[in-house]
A = this chain, B = another copy of it.
Amino acid sequence: MSDDLLLGPSITEDDVRRIVREEVAQAFQKDPAARKATIIASKGTLDWAYPPFILGSAAAAAGMDTSIFFTFYGLLLLTKDLGKKLKVSPVGNPAMPMPLPMADVFTGLPGMKTVATAMMKQKFDKKGVAKVEELRDICLESGVRLIACTMTQEVFGFDASDFVDGVEFGGAGACLSDARKSHITLFI
């Protein structure tokens, strides 16, 4: 007489339901969507360059399969001469804590964008936060996929050679195909 025959009769519908609930609870613990993060980076200023790269590298560090899709103004974040191009715009950011209060009119004057950019860079440097180029490198080294939006590339006339090595290319469809399998989906 086999073990099966001995065990068989003891499996009831209640047993099955108990086993199923255990397995399902475990399966939800390792829900594949909890291991995927899809970020859309749409802004092209120095300040807004930090969130996608910081969150992207943090997600990869937490073991997540992570991709950042660069579209719209965000495409600029993939260009080679990033450091020179990105600026902080103090206009429209009344929340930017300045060392000295500035009258709003000054933040609209030529030159102020340069001042704000320098201050932002200094603040991040002083506190040991990596520069944007370094954060981008960390993303690439930790396996974050950096994807350039092909439609934006066409509209704004970028050439593939404008971008750093390691960049992939894809459309909105590719982005959504990743996003629909991810719990973390952020439009930055």
A residues whose Cβ falls under 8 Å from a Cβ of B:
3-5, 7-13, 15-17, 19-21, 23-25, 27-28, 31-35, 37, 40, 42-45, 47, 50-51, 54-55, 58-59, 61-62, 64, 71-74, 76, 85-89, 91-97, 103-105, 108-113, 123-124, 127, 129, 151, 154-157, 171-173, 176-177, 179-188
Inter-subunit contact B186/A183 (CB<8 Å): no
A176 to chain B, nearest CB (A): 6
**CB atoms of A15 and B12 under 8 A apart:** no
CB distance from A74 to the nearest CB of B (A): 8
Asked whether B55 lies within 8 Å of A76 as measured between CB atoms, the reply is no
Is there an interface contact between B91 and A108, defined as CB atoms closer than 8 Å?
Answer: yes
Q: Which residues of B contact A12 (CB under 8 A)?
A: 3-4, 7-8, 11
A185-B183 CB under 8 A given contacts A73-B93, A110-B104: yes
| Cβ–Cβ < 8 Å partners of A186 in chain B | 40, 185-187
Contacts of A112 in B (CB 8 A): 104
